[in-house]
Amino acid sequence: MSRQTYRRFASAILPLVAVVLLGAPAGVRAQGGGESCPALVQGALESLESSCADTGRNEACYGHFRVNAVLRSDAIFEQPADKVAVEVLESLTAYGIPEALDAWGIALLRIQADLPDALPGQNVTLLLMGDTSVINQGELAGGPVSEPCQVRAASGANLRSGPGTGYNRVGGASAGDALAVTGQNAAGDWLQLATDFGEAWIAAQLVTNESCDFAAVPAVEPGQTPESPGFAPMQAFTFSTGLGETACAEAPADSLVIRSPAGTTVHLRANGVDIALSSAAVLTARPAGPMTVSVLEGAARVTAQETSVTVLPGFRTTIAMSTDLLPVGPPTAPEPYTAAGLAPLAGIPADAAGGKPLPVPEAGTITQWDVTSTILGGNGTWADTGSQVLTLRLSLVEAADGESLFYRSCVLHRSGEGVYSGSCEWDHEGEHVMAEYTMTFTSPGAFTMDWTLHQGNITQDFLDEGVLAE
């Protein structure tokens, strides 16, 4: 394996592996004795690294015994390092740990989904761990997936959750910002956008066109994912997890882990639930039981039964499933997950390229805050001082011990009476980014937070002012 190939694998897969290992206690023996569960899991992950680093776009790789595939061709997929084209996969099943402790199924897929052809080195990664089964609902030869076209904000503008000023404000755009258009309303006077925080809408009169043929932009409803001429292979799928028994209660949970490339939003359909994913999430599902979407990094916009929720890092939403794995209810309001709720996923990676996991505090309380965020100054070129004011509704999780908070995807620790501080780091479009936060509660229902964002040679100061939402 070349160093360059290994580096590509490490940047895309090892962050997922690090998350899998969280909560796997070392040296614990399984019920039947023999090799310890952590040793088996570690060996399986090492097999995945050595077998699947060179997996290409729209390929599936056999990572560790035991995996079974139903194929639409006579290709061979029987042992670690075997690879097949995703389009010939009818279904793929990884198996859990048996009493003999001699197997733990892992399979890896790299798919294009709706990523543009212009980004051949970027893929969506799906990792099947343990007792997990996936059925391909994409087209056998679905043809090219339609790409978002681009417009630019003509001036400062609000971004909303739907096509109209009556919808909630979810963000803002500054003059000149490039915006990716994925749809429009029936009247054509509002445009649906793909953003880092999920779906958003902007009034068409507030943009200048760069590459859009609006006659070809599909008409969609709020929360609806525009469909290409058929989903690409494995862009739509039916899946289930944890149906069989495992001989090792200490092993990571049976699950499907999905990562999109940094700085992109991809659209998937899992069990009839539409997911717009920016970064990484873990999915689980059982027939006539719950399907969960737990976000590790970035954000996910989850839509079912004409209801959409945005899920942030450290939170998850649940959708009730029918016996044939279709949604029978809307996604629930996001709630924090902790070690008690999702043992192997008790932390989130600090950045898209790997690093120390960022712990999510054990939730004592979760509250909603109306926040006004203003640019104060610095040497940044994003906007002039005071010219961009965003009004957001953000979640704040207070740890049960009162010593830490989870806010803006970062953990802040108490540094004084009513004062919390912390910093977070990540990579964005090839540049290192660091944010430093100091939050001060001026009353039980109000806070101010000074924070600074460093990206490359740019430093920008901000002020958040929050009041407890009614």
Confidence bin at 214 (pLDDT 50/70/90) = confident
- Note the pLDDT of residue 235: 92
- Burial string for 85-115 (b: 16+ CB within 10 Å, else e) reads bbbbbeebbbbbbbeebebbbbbbbbbbbbb
31-80 per-position pLDDT tens digit: 433 457 778 878 888 888 899 989 999 999 999 999 999 998 999 999 99
- Helix 37-52 crosses helix 3-21 at what angle (to 10 degrees)? 150
Task: Based on the fold, state whether residues 271 and 340 are members of the same structural domain.
Answer: yes
- Note the pLDDT of residue 365: 64
- Note the pLDDT of residue 219: 82
Task: Based on the fold, state whether residues 45 and 133 are members of the same structural domain.
Answer: yes
100-119 per-position pLDDT tens digit: 888 899 999 999 998 877 66
Phi, psi at 12, each rounded to 5°: -95, -30
CATH code at position 425: 2.40.128
pLDDT of 274 strictly over 60: yes
Task: Based on the fold, state whether residues 249 and 379 are members of the same structural domain.
Answer: no
Domain end residue (candidates: 319, 349, 379): 349
411-423 per-position pLDDT tens digit: 788 888 889 998 8
Written as one string, the DSSP assignment of 382-415 is: SS-TTS-EEEEEEEEEEETTSSEEEETTEEEEEE
pLDDT of 6 strictly over 60: no
From the centroid of its chain, how far is CA 126? 11
- Note the pLDDT of residue 124: 93
- Note the pLDDT of residue 2: 37
Task: Based on the fold, state whether residues 253 and 344 are members of the same structural domain.
Answer: yes
pLDDT of 158 strictly over 80: yes
Tokens representing 118?
A: 């212009």
**Spatial distance between the Cα atoms of 136 and 125, rounded to a whole number of angstroms:** 15
Phi, psi at 75, each rounded to 5°: -65, 160
**Spatial distance between the Cα atoms of 449 and 434, rounded to a whole number of angstroms:** 16
From the centroid of its chain, how far is CA 166? 28
Task: Based on the fold, state whether residues 55 and 191 are members of the same structural domain.
Answer: no
CATH code at position 168: 2.30.30.40
pTM confidence score:
0.58
Phi, psi at 267, each rounded to 5°: -115, 125
294-330 per-position pLDDT tens digit: 887 777 889 898 888 888 777 889 999 999 999 999 9
- Pick from 121-125, 204-208, 387-391, 428-432 the range whose average pLDDT is largest: 204-208
Q: Specify the DSSP class assigned to residue 103.
A: -
Confidence bin at 91 (pLDDT 50/70/90) = very high
Other beta carbons less than 10 A from residue 326's beta carbon: 15
Domain range enclosing 431:
363-468
CATH code at position 312: 2.60.120.1440
Task: Based on the fold, state whether residues 280 and 345 are members of the same structural domain.
Answer: yes
Mean pLDDT on 373-394? 60
